[in-house]
Amino acid sequence: MVSITEGKHAHFFIDFAWEKDGHIRSYRLGLEEVFEGKYLETLYVPHPGQAFLLVGCGKEKELGLLEVKEILAAAASKCREWKVKECSVDISRFVDALGRDAVTQSVLGLELGSYSYSFSGKEEEGAPCRFQLERVNGLEDMEGLLAEAEELVRGIRFARDMVNTPGNHLRPMDFDRRITGFVQDVEIEAQTLVYGQLRAMGMEALYGIGGSSEYPPCLLILRYRGNPESEEVYGLIGKGVTCDTGGYCLKGSKSMAGIKGDMAGAAAVAGAMHAAAAAKLKVNVTACLPLCENRISQSAFLPGDVITGYGGKTIEILNTDAEGRLVLSDAVSYGIREENITRIVDIATLTGAVWNALGYTIAGAMSDDDSFYRMFEKGLVHSAEKYLRFPFGREHRKMIQSDVADVKNTGADCCGTITAGLFIREFCEGKPWIHLDIAGTAWCDTPSYAFESKGATGAGMTSLYFMLKEAAFLQGKA
């Protein structure tokens, strides 16, 4: 919990110091003998009438928004460890260096640094620490920044909770109900197309993958209309495979532990939609979330099968573990044809190739529209997430050409991230398109940052929100 106060009121406070900072000596306690101010270095200091945590910020020239988020998360983690009940935090040095965004990242760090997931729902003893942000002189609307940041925290926590939930407690229709309940307090219209409707409408990719399980698939549509006078509708298409065995192309044993988290894209979209509606952004957004399981059964797809997607294209299935792009293709086609989506962003834990290339801290991205992608990049400035845009050409598109169908769901032995994205692009009907592959960043067994904990990260949620915020800003200028 974070609030704003005028000056220090708590008996415990957090102080920050650059590496080799003279500020360390200003306490005249000899702290410079045991504390150098190195990045994320911490020192507990008892003080007459108070106590404080000294946190190292490293070199001043290396400070960015991600570092602010991590510094505050490291501090929050220590407060949780020591069971601190109330704490004052002065973030003025970060605001002076980086502006208003430092408030957002400070709140995200404080809130996420103390995040934990427990399926049992058992909470730790005692109330969580209450952080008091000291008002920064000259900074307007700090309350508004705090409210926005708290909404982002809510979305990230929701996404993390969903991805962390055991698969047997989050079947496709369970996930549908959890998302629908999450967005019911804002102006979002929710509609669910169930299994029978998917079959009647010819969504063979989605109902075919989902039909391999006794727990039926569905397509959840979320609509937010913040700018009804505009015909522009942003489509967020999030992969929601709640259990992915790989089908008949069964995953290896080492990959099985993570099969419950293949719905992180849909979870991120739900969080971003809620934040956009809560902020009343003047932008129209429709989310199409294909929710299903991918299992082995008599009705499951086999390698070599040919199906027809909702958009009318035939698809040769060569790998049943490349199911995410299949269900996304039907969701994209539905969004364009039935929801009048004009710009498309799909987000998914799609390929192992992306984390082979970029690891666990940088996600992959693709786009066929430079101006649209620049809008996304402007959002990244505020989100402090990292993406690398992959190039593609005619030679990559040839890799997914099929001899027996319009397209096949795998490419060559190389360029797996690129060909997966291009498969989805085949169904975008020329609409501006961005593809986000978060397979490496959505989950961490060993956290890379202090604001992460083992398990789900909530990757992509803030980037989607800030892209929509940038879209609303540009529409307001038009």
Which residues have a Cβ under 8 Å from the Cβ of 117 and sit 6 or more positions away? 160, 161, 164, 453, 455, 456
Rounded-to-integer distance, Cα 140 and Cα 159, Å? 30
Give 129's DSSP letter.
Answer: P
251 is catalytic: yes
Buried b / exposed e along 22-53 (16+ C-beta atoms within 10 A): eebeebeeebbeebbbebbbbbeeeeeeeebb
**The one catalytic residue among 80, 100, 251, 378:** 251
Q: What angle do CA 212, 216, 220 make, to 5 degrees?
A: 125
Alpha helices in 187-258 (DSSP H): 195-201, 204-210
Scan for tokens 């049992």, then name that residue. 120
Question: Using an 8 Å Cβ cutoff, are 251 and 321 in contact?
Answer: yes
**The one catalytic residue among 239, 295, 325, 408:** 325
20 is catalytic: no
Give the C-alpha distances (Å, rounded to integers) separating 14 from 78, 132, 134, 270. 10, 10, 11, 34
Rounded-to-integer distance, Cα 419 and Cα 400, Å? 7
H or E stretch including 286?
A: strand 284-294
Question: Using an 8 Å Cβ cutoff, are 238 and 179 in contact?
Answer: no
Q: Compute the Cα dihedral for 422, 424, 426, 428 and give only its sign.
A: negative
Q: Exposed, middle or buried, 348 (CB in 10 Å: 0-12/13-18/19+)? A: buried
Scan for tokens 């003047």, then name that residue. 282
Q: Compute the Cα dihedral for 249, 437, 273, 113 and give only its sign.
A: positive
Rounded-to-integer distance, Cα 439 and Cα 436, Å? 9
Annotated catalytic sites, by residue? Answer: 251, 325
